[in-house]
Structure 1
Amino acid sequence: MAKTCQITGKKAMTGNNVSHSKRRTKRVFDVNLFTRKFYWVEQDCWISLKVSAAGLRTINKIGLNAAIKKAAEKGYLYV
């Protein structure tokens, strides 16, 4: 699961570099990923997750337990 957010499932996208002369070459748009440790109160342990900036906002909004449960249902995280 390299370069994939474990909460939102975001992956790297491909696109084109476009030069001034309009020549197109392939490039990769990587995800804004961070490796963060979170304290999971319900399990009383620390966990390490690879999360994107959007994943961090999701955890702040709905909470870590709900975010992990939603990610496990969608198949982004294997718990």
Structure 2
Amino acid sequence: MSRICDLTGKGALVGNRVSHSNAKTKRKFYPNLQMKRFFIPEENRWITLKVSTSAIKTINKIGITEAINRFVSKGSI
């Protein structure tokens, strides 16, 4: 399974791990993803999404259907 948010499209970023001697090696910064179930009242069903915690906050604020519509119109899905 890929580590990409289903709604926002957030993925891993690449950076450097810097040691005490200032030696740099590549590493990845992964987004904080959670498997979460959401109930869609219009369709009377549950969906399971792998979403970032910032997307969960957005969903809690505006609702799942509005969040899906925003992310679809923005083109991140």
TM-score, structure 2 normalization: 0.90
RMSD: 1.4
Shift of 1:75: 3.0
Per the alignment, residue 4 of structure 1 pairs with 4
> 1-side partners of 2:48 and 2:76: how far apart?
14
**How many pairs align?**
77
Per the alignment, residue 29 of structure 1 pairs with 29
**Percent of paired sites with the same residue:** 47
Per the alignment, residue 42 of structure 1 pairs with 42
Report Cα offsets for 1:44-78 as digits up to 9, x if no partner.
1110111011010010111100001112223333x
Q: Which amino acid aligns with 1:48?
A: T
Structure 1 residues 21-30 or 67-76, which shifts more?
67-76
Does residue 1:58 correspond to 2:62, yes or no? no
Shift of 1:42: 1.1
> 2-side partners of 1:49 and 1:28: how far apart?
23
Q: Which amino acid aligns with 2:60?
A: N
Report Cα offsets for 1:8-66 as digits up to 9, x if no partner.
22111000000000000000000100111111111111101110110100101111000
